[in-house]
Homo-oligomer: A and B are copies of this chain.
Amino acid sequence: MNKGLLVVISGPSGAGKGTIYGKVIEQTGMKRSVSVTTRKPRPGEVEGVNYYFRTEEQYQQMIASGEFLETAAVYNNFYGTPKAPVFSNLESGYDVLFEVDVHGAKSIKSKYPEAVTIFLMTPDFDTLEARLKSRGTESASALKMRLDSARNELAKYEMFDYIVFNDTVEQATAEVISIIEAEKHKVKNNVAKINALLAQKR
List of B residues within 8 angstroms of A182 by Cβ? 162, 178-179, 181-183
Question: Is A124 interfacial (CB 8 A cutoff)?
Answer: yes
A121 contacts across to B, CB distance below 8 A? 197
Stretch among A31-39, A46-54, A97-105, A152-160 lining the B interface: A152-160
Q: Once the chains are docked, how many angstroms separate the CA of A194 from the CA of B158?
A: 10
Do B194 and A163 touch (CB < 8 A)? yes
Measured between alpha carbons, how far is A200 from B81 in the docked complex, in Å? 36
Chain B residue with the shortest CB-CB distance to A126: B200
How far apart are A36's CB and chain B's nearest CB, in angstroms?
A: 30
Are A186 and B161 within 8 A (Cβ)? yes
**A144 CB to nearest B CB, Å:** 9
Residue A164 interfacial (CB < 8 Å): yes
State in angstroms the CA–CA spacing of A118 and B187 once bound together: 9
Query: In the complex, A155 Cα to B119 Cα: how many Å?
Result: 34
A residues 121-169 touching B (CB-CB < 8 Å)? 121, 124-125, 147, 151, 154-155, 157-158, 160-164
Chain B residues in 8 Å Cβ range of A160: 187
Q: Does A42 have its Cβ within 8 Å of any Cβ on chain B?
A: no
Interface, chain A (partner B; CB < 8 A): 118-119, 121, 124-125, 147, 151, 154-155, 157-158, 160-164, 175, 177-179, 181-183, 185-187, 190-191, 194, 197-198, 200, 202
14 A–B pairs (Cβ distance < 8 Å), ordered by A: A118-B185, A121-B197, A125-B197, A125-B202, A151-B202, A154-B198, A157-B187, A157-B190, A158-B187, A161-B186, A162-B182, A177-B178, A178-B182, A179-B185
